[in-house]
A and B are shown apart, each in its own frame.
Chain A
Amino acid sequence: MAVRVSAEDFDASAEMEKLCAGDTRIGGIAMFVGKVRGDVQGEALTSMTLEHYPGMTEAELARIEAEARERFRLSGSLIVHRVGELTPGDNIVLVAACAPHRQDAFRGAEFLMDYLKTRAPFWKKETLANGTSRWVDARESDEAAASAWQERST
């Protein structure tokens, strides 16, 4: 179980190898890697800057991870999130969940992302090729995805 916030890039393959290494109870690992898209509604994106709230970010990610672990009986999990200035194609976020069975691993990883997107204090600012910058608006669809977990039993 670990959470990490860093300006540095991560190596998803290396993280996958390390996670739950030697734990023969697990039957699978589900991993999601989020990346910077090169366009925003048809406009070319130059860079994306991620701001966060040091202290709360780590606390919130740890709460989200603990909830996922309890709910999906995960054997292990990992959240890595980058901050600072990123460019198209860069990695932004990695979540991974290990479990004895695949459904818990898949659902655990999805839950981690849905909760991260609506609770962890990160904010994206986009700079477009035309020189303008703007803060990204929160999406109602993300809030709906996170809320939907509260109505499910698993």
Chain B
Amino acid sequence: MTDSIAATEVTLRYFAWLRERAGVSEERLALPSGVQTVGDLLRWQAGRGHPFDQAFAMPEAIRVALDHAHAKASAPIGAAREIAFFPPVTGG
């Protein structure tokens, strides 16, 4: 009966060129119920319209972290409260 539960808000964070292209570093919102996995979330972002359509035009170039841990496209979002989007890392 998960459909009847009000969607909880999550924090979305953006870094590096993704932050610049999305024009936002952080936002809070409730994800649509159809967004179950990291891959679903990337597709949903690309469909949000300007400027997210451009920021997320190449989902294969974007990495995602769920609650501070790297997550693959197939990973379920589950109860994650903070979801981050960023390019492949370039530290060191």
Contact = CB atoms under 8 A, between A and B. Distances in A.
B58 to A, nearest CB: 13
A137 interface: yes
B17 A119 contact: no
B90 A138 contact: yes
B68 A117 contact: no
B68 A124 contact: no
A135 B89 contact: no
Contacts of B15: 51, 53, 121, 123
Given A60-B68, A123-B16, A53 B91 contact: no
B16 A81 contact: no
A136 B90 CA distance: 7
A120 B91 contact: yes
B65 A117 contact: no
Interface string A116-152: 1111111111000000000111100010000000000
B1 interface: no
- Interface size grouping (class) on chain A: 20 to 34
In terms of DSSP, what is the predominant structure of the interface of chain A? mixed
Contact of B90 (A55, A59, A60, A124): A124
A59 B68 contact: yes
B92 interface: yes
B16 A135 contact: yes
Given A56-B68, A59-B69, A118 B89 contact: yes
Given A123-B15, A125-B16, A53 B90 contact: no
B26 to A, nearest CB: 11
Given A53-B86, A56-B65, A92 B92 contact: yes
Interface of A: 34, 50-53, 55-56, 59-60, 81, 92-93, 113, 116-125, 135-138, 142
20 contacts: A51-B16, A53-B86, A55-B68, A56-B65, A56-B68, A56-B84, A59-B69, A93-B91, A117-B89, A117-B90, A119-B70, A120-B91, A121-B84, A121-B86, A123-B91, A124-B91, A137-B90, A138-B89, A138-B90, A142-B92
Interface of B: 13, 15-17, 65, 68-70, 84, 86-92
Given A56-B65, A93-B92, A138-B88, 7 more contacts: A51-B15, A52-B91, A60-B69, A60-B70, A123-B89, A125-B16, A136-B90
